[in-house]
């Protein structure tokens, strides 16, 4: 049975939450939840979607009010100082009455956000009644309460390219569950003294992509980038968590069981986001003085996915709260499917390679997708393998596979390394060469014993018999491969027989462009803008109100027609290729490059 593992209050909308052991539930939600809101001077709500610095405000309950602190700045909010002037407040489409607090509080927030704002108080009871819900609601986006299970978050973390924290989703009630998204099928539940209706799934927005503890949005747009691939509804929204409405008042506590009183049909989402598997390290050994080999099996003891010699293993490693993605070539042979092995060269500035070398031991685990890659062994009678440094790893897999298949009848293997101590797997390769006369291995040492070294040159390649008939595999530093490729082609090797592997980690392009002043015209409103910031933000800075919801390119609410000019419009789920070809853009995520006119 599911049980409550965490209860969270968010006294100030968009600020950091407070974890509590128990909470009183009434029609508006948890007592003390979202009673304060930062608003524009016209009463429109402000959230971390546009002002991520709000999430770094830490809130503490004290006698008579709240204490706020952020970046060394503090504010003591006391009820006795409130002016309590009735003020109109707006959250999305709801406009209702709230109350002013104090000019000094408004000034504190205005200085923090660098624009004129005010701090509003909801009052003892909310003036916001949502007829469609048949209940009052606080300053929350739309529903009184949000519930998420830890199993569901764990499922997303197996798929996402970032390590995600529950705090990014801002639930009030966190529960354990036996399986991921079990809560999708709940319709009515009881926790402690309170019965709840599970009203609807919670649609998610760009606010979830704020990196915890920072004011930065994740460059890969996680978790939305993952959720959109397997939790996207027919309406285009992405869903994670369940909105609740309390049917009565009462107390709930941490560790309270969740009793499911009524079930509903869970929505079915198209799943295009494969899970990673947990791999446990069973051994590690030195391949060379600066290359370490790590051996893995599946943590669940089930069979590993098959692979081809030369493919890589896409791993995800969480270090100090940050997820690092790497693609390491498998050095093991697919003919021995019980284990994977990756061989990792330690690099001076390599976060992952150094962490693995210093901390990763048998018994530790990491996450990995199934092996992939196109640098694979093709059937042939003759082979040539050329590598330098850590580029040897996929070629070791190939040699090992050919050995197990008794296909080393005509194989040349040239490897360049610094010294004799840097020769990879010397005993194993020597043994294979002794057992297979067709395997010819040559190590080229760039630093000889007396200080005189050698490098791969044209003569080394010209000495290889029947070179033009060999399936040739080349892996190493970019400059090394560029020169080797030129020599091989000059010696008559057909380009179709030459295969190359480049070692590189996936990176997000973030090339700055020179700032330019532009003229932007949206629906007849003309203003001066720039080529640095998205159109929606620039329009809002000019006082224009454009429709929006997610600010992440998912919902399509901010879609505009580009009449003239050029914009940078990244791929977005809410924009089809046909729409983009027809000039449709999403104001929330497109940046003007020239003067533009939009309708």
CATH, residue 571: 3.10.20.30
460's CB contacts (< 8 A; 6+ apart) are: 414, 442, 444
Using the 3D structure, point to which of 448, 467, 501 is the last residue of a domain: 501
What local confidence, expressed as pLDDT, does residue 554 receive?
Answer: 86
What local confidence, expressed as pLDDT, does residue 454 receive?
Answer: 84
Residues 116 and 245 in one domain: yes
CATH, residue 312: 2.40.30.10
What local confidence, expressed as pLDDT, does residue 549 receive?
Answer: 82
SS3 488: helix
Residues 577 and 483 in one domain: no
Residues 243 and 210 in one domain: yes
Residues 455 and 577 in one domain: no
The pLDDT tens digits of the residues spanning 59-84 come to 999 999 999 999 999 999 999 999 99
Helix spans in 455-571 (H):
458-462, 478-490, 535-541
pLDDT interval class at 597 (50, 70, 90): very high
Using the 3D structure, point to which of 302, 335, 368 is the last residue of a domain: 368
Residues 457 and 355 in one domain: no
Joined tokens for residue 512: 């700055």
Bridge partner list, 130: 135
Residue 358 domain-assigned? yes
Measured distance CA(343)–CA(329) in Å, rounded: 7
Residues 300 and 231 in one domain: no
Residue 207 domain-assigned? yes
What local confidence, expressed as pLDDT, does residue 412 receive?
Answer: 98
CATH, residue 408: 3.40.50.80
Per-residue pLDDT averaged across 394-413, rounded? 98
Crossing angle of helices 426-435 and 392-404, in 10° steps, is: 40
Residue 189 domain-assigned? yes
Residue 505 pLDDT > 60: no
SS3 1: coil
Contact 122, 101 (CB under 8 A): no
The H or E element that residue 344 is part of is: strand 340-345
Contact 283, 292 (CB under 8 A): no
| Cα dihedral across residues 533, 535, 540, 541: positive or negative | positive
Residue 375 domain-assigned? no
Q: Which domain holds residue 441?
A: 383-501
Residue 271 domain-assigned? no
The dihedral region occupied by 345, where left means phi > 0, alpha psi between -120 and 50, and beta the remainder, is: beta
CATH, residue 15: 2.40.33.20
Residues 37 and 144 in one domain: yes
Contact 190, 123 (CB under 8 A): no
Per-residue pLDDT averaged across 257-283, rounded? 98
Beta strands 383-388 and 471-475, pairing class: parallel
Concatenated DSSP letters of 105-150: HHHHHHHHHTS-EEEEE--SS-S-EETTTTEE--SSSSSSEEEEEH
The pLDDT tens digits of the residues spanning 204-251 come to 999 999 999 999 999 889 999 999 999 999 999 999 999 999 999 999
User: 23: number of CA atoms within 13 Å, CB side?
Assistant: 27
Joined tokens for residue 535: 């159109």
Per-residue pLDDT averaged across 519-532, rounded? 95
pTM equals: 0.86
Residues 312 and 389 in one domain: no
Q: Where are the beta strands (DSSP E) in 160-276?
A: 173-175, 186-191, 194-203, 239-246, 250-253, 258-263
Joined tokens for residue 310: 């030369």
For residue 262, which phi and psi values (nearest 5 degrees)?
-155, 140
Measured distance CA(1)–CA(257) in Å, rounded: 7
Residue 374 domain-assigned? no
Contact 278, 298 (CB under 8 A): yes
Residue 388 domain-assigned? yes
Residues 411 and 554 in one domain: no
Residues 231 and 332 in one domain: no
Residues 390 and 464 in one domain: yes
Using the 3D structure, point to which of 468, 501, 534 is the last residue of a domain: 501
The H or E element that residue 277 is part of is: strand 277-288
Measured distance CA(33)–CA(61) in Å, rounded: 11
Measured distance CA(291)–CA(64) in Å, rounded: 61
The pLDDT tens digits of the residues spanning 303-326 come to 999 999 999 999 999 999 999 999
Number of domains in the chain: 4
Residues 106 and 244 in one domain: yes
Per-residue pLDDT averaged across 36-43, rounded? 98
User: 232: number of CA atoms within 13 Å, CB side?
Assistant: 18
Residue 373 domain-assigned? no
SS3 96: strand
Q: How many residues does the chain have?
A: 599
Per-residue pLDDT averaged across 423-446, rounded? 96
């Amino acid at each position: 049975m599911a049980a409550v593992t965490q209860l969270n209050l968010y006294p100030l909308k968009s600020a950091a939450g407070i974890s509590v052991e128990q909470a009183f539930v009434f029609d508006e939600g948890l007592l003390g939840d979202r009673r304060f809101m930062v608003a524009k001077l016209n009463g429109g709500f402000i959230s971390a979607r546009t002002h991520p610095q709000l999430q770094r405000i830490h809130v503490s309950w004290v006698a008579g009010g709240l204490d706020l602190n952020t970046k060394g700045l503090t504010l003591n909010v006391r009820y006795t100082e409130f002016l309590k002037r009735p003020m109109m407040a707006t959250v999305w489409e709801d406009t209702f009455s709230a109350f002013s607090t104090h000019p000094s509080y408004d000034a504190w927030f205005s200085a923090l956000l660098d624009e004129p704002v005010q701090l509003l108080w909801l009052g003892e009871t909310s003036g916001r009644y949502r007829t469609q819900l048949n209940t009052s609601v606080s300053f929350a986006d739309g529903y009184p309460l949000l519930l998420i299970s830890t199993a569901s978050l764990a499922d997303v973390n197996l798929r996402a390219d970032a390590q995600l924290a529950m705090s990014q989703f801002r639930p009030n009630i966190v529960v354990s569950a036996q399986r991921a998204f079990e809560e999708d099928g709940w319709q009515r539940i009881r926790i402690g003294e309170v019965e709840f209706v599970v009203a609807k799934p919670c649609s998610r927005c760009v606010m979830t992509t704020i990196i915890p503890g920072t004011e930065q949005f994740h460059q890969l747009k996680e978790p939305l980038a993952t959720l959109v691939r397997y939790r996207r509804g027919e309406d285009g929204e992405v869903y994670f968590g369940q909105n609740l409405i309390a049917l009565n008042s009462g107390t709930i506590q941490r560790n309270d069981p969740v009793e499911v009183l009524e079930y509903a049909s869970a929505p079915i989402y198209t799943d295009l986001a494969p899970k990673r598997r947990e791999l446990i390290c069973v051994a590690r050994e030195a391949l060379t003085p600066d290359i370490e080999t790590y051996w893995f099996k599946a943590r669940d003891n089930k069979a590993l996915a098959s692979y081809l010699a030369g493919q890589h293993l896409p791993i995800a490693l969480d270090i100090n709260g940050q997820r690092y993605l790497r693609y390491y070539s498998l050095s093991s042979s697919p003919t021995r499917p019980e284990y994977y092995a990756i061989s990792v060269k330690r690099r001076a500035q390599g976060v992952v390679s150094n962490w693995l070398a210093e901390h990763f031991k048998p018994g530790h685990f990491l996450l990995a997708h199934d092996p992939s890659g196109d640098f694979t062994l093709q059937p042939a009678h003759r082979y040539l393998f050329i590598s330098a440094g850590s580029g040897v790893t996929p070629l070791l897999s190939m040699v090992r596979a050919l050995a197990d298949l008794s296909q080393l009848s005509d194989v040349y293997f040239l490897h360049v390394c610094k010294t004799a101590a840097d020769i990879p797997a010397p005993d194993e390769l020597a043994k294979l060469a002794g057992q297979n006369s067709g395997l010819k291995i040559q190590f080229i040492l760039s630093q000889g014993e007396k200080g005189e070294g050698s490098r791969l040159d044209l003569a080394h390649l010209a000495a290889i018999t029947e070179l033009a008939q060999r399936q040739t595999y080349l892996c190493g530093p970019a400059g090394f491969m560029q020169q080797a490729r030129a020599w091989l082609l000059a010696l008559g090797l057909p380009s179709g027989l030459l295969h190359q592997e480049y070692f590189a980690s996936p990176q997000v392009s973030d090339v700055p462009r020179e700032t330019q002043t532009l003229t932007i015209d949206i629906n007849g409103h003309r203003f001066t803008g720039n080529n640095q910031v998205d159109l929606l933000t620039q329009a809002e800075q000019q006082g224009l109100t454009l429709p929006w919801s997610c600010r992440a390119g998912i919902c399509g609410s901010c879609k505009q027609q580009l009449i003239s000019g050029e914009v940078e419009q990244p791929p977005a789920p809410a924009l089809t290729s046909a729409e983009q070809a027809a000039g449709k853009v999403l104001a929330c995520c497109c940046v003007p490059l020239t003067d533009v006119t939009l309708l």
